[in-house]
A and B are shown apart, each in its own frame.
Chain A
Amino acid sequence: GAGVSQSPSNKVTEKGKDVELRCDPISGHTALYWYRQSLGQGLEFLIYFQGNSAPDKSGLPSDRFSAERTGGSVSTLTIQRTQQEDSAVYLCASSPPSGGAKTQYFGPGTRLTVL
């Protein structure tokens, strides 16, 4: 079946502009995560959604970052007034509702470059 998809794959923007990154999780997966990965670094947790529960936003680095998940499926991560330090690969992952491990399946990521 189809995996997690993300769009765009690459985004170049100017400092101060707003950007929207999209994630389509695997059908039926109830949990959805956003991470940020800077060059050569590990994954930095940003936010996760679980079903209809309130999202865990504890990883969002500033109020310029926000995310929503509509209809329990597609999610959009929005970065307002982008800064050069926002440049990174933004990874989305989803996991199924059942099963002990609840392994996360990652999308290919969106590479964001802020000039």
Chain B
Amino acid sequence: GQNIDQPTEMTATEGAIVQINCTYQTSGFNGLFWYQQHAGEAPTFLSYNVLDGLEEKGRFSSFLSRSKGYSYLLLKELQMKDSASYLCAVRDTGGFKTIFGAGTRLFVKA
């Protein structure tokens, strides 16, 4: 079956670092995505990993281990505007079907 797990909620302090984990069990794998979704808005693309390792993009980094079925999103120098849901998504092999996790709601406090 298809299963993507991530924590439901996390809270962190402005200026700090937070790591959001995602584990997946899917029938196929052709890339893992992280999306950010503010309340009442559509998801927006943050990162894409298809090979093992760390991808860094400004304050955001994403890590993938295919053998462990594991990814994390790392947010540095947290800002209040980073309060949002973060969605982990896995694309199936051979096509474009993408399965999303339920999302992690991140609350950034002052």
A residues sitting closer than 8 Å to B (CB atoms) are 31, 33, 35, 41-45, 48, 50, 56, 58-59, 91, 95, 100-109
Contacts and interface: CB of A to CB of B under 8 A. Distances in A.
B50 A45 contact: no
21 contacts: A41-B102, A41-B103, A42-B100, A42-B101, A42-B103, A43-B87, A44-B100, A45-B97, A45-B100, A48-B95, A48-B97, A50-B95, A56-B97, A91-B43, A100-B31, A101-B48, A102-B96, A103-B45, A104-B98, A108-B41, A109-B42
Leading 3 A-B pairs by shortest Cβ distance = A106-B42, A42-B102, A43-B100
A104 B95 CA distance: 13
Contacts of A101: 31, 33, 45, 48
B75 to A, nearest CB: 19
B22 to A, nearest CB: 11
Instruction: Say whether chain B's binding surface is mostly helix, strand, loop, or mixed.
Output: loop
